[in-house]
Amino acid sequence: MNRIFIVFVSFLIIGMIYLFSYSLSKPEISRINNQTGKDLPEFKNLVDLNQEIFDQEELLKGKVLLNVWASWCITCKVEHPFLKKISEEKNLKIVGINYKDQLSDAISYLEDNGDPYDNSIFDLGGDYSLKLGVIGAPETFLVIDGKIVSHRVGELNRKIWERDFESFF
């Protein structure tokens, strides 16, 4: 009886390791296009990191890269240098959405790592992010004249930028 149990547990562990290894071998997160083509949702009483009312009209004119981030998000920290680089290279407004974060942590994060954003919306409860369809940080939306034209779930890097966003510039 003990021998059968050991064999069963061994196969179970080997199977779990195989499934885990297979999931890591995928080169990227699957694209989720459920927000592409939709209008940017309206929301009242948005505030920025300075606790001032955020004028949503800023998101409705021209090309705006909307980036959902948080100080607690490891992947956000990985993509942060790339966001700083494109903010310097491109004629592009970048607006951050600070997602379910503490205000002091968000401000410290930007002070410590640099601020690629023209402005950051403070979304403590995640209400605005929920209306956008965000499932977690980081996520990036390219909005042109109030319409979402590209949506990325996960890290934004050079390869993803060139594949999903560059063609709009």
pLDDT tens readout for residues 63-95: 999 999 999 999 999 999 999 999 998 888 999
Do 87 and 152 meet the contact criterion of CB atoms below 8 Å apart?
Answer: no
Residue 19 lies in a domain: no
Residue 4 lies in a domain: no
Residue 44 lies in a domain: yes
Overall number of domains in the chain: 1
Give the H/E segment covering residue 7.
helix 2-24
Question: Which CATH number characterizes residue 122's domain?
Answer: 3.40.30.10
Q: Residue range 107-125: average pLDDT?
A: 96
Tell me the CA end-to-end span of the chain in Å, nearest whole number: 67
Greatest mean pLDDT range, 3-7, 14-18, 121-125: 121-125
Residue 47 lies in a domain: yes
Higher pLDDT, 169 or 151: 151
Give the Cβ contact number of residue 132 at 10 Å: 24
Nearest Cα neighbor of 116 from 151, 141, 84 is 84
Give the Cβ contact number of residue 50 at 10 Å: 12
Give the Cβ contact number of residue 107 at 10 Å: 18
| Euclidean distance between CA atoms 153 and 46, whole angstroms | 22
Residue 21 lies in a domain: no
- Tokens encoding 101: 């974060």
Residue 18 lies in a domain: no
Residue 9 lies in a domain: no
Q: What pLDDT was estimated at residue 20?
A: 72
Residue 23 lies in a domain: no
- Tokens encoding 90: 């491109």
Kind of pairing between the strands at 119-123 and 93-99: parallel
Do 83 and 160 meet the contact criterion of CB atoms below 8 Å apart?
Answer: no
| Euclidean distance between CA atoms 149 and 143, whole angstroms | 6
- Secondary structure E strands in the chain: 47-48, 63-69, 93-99, 119-123, 139-144, 147-153
pLDDT tens digits along 9-55:
888 888 888 877 776 666 555 555 568 888 999 888 899 999 999 99
Q: Residue range 152-168: average pLDDT?
A: 94
Task: State which residues form the domain around 129.
Answer: 31-168
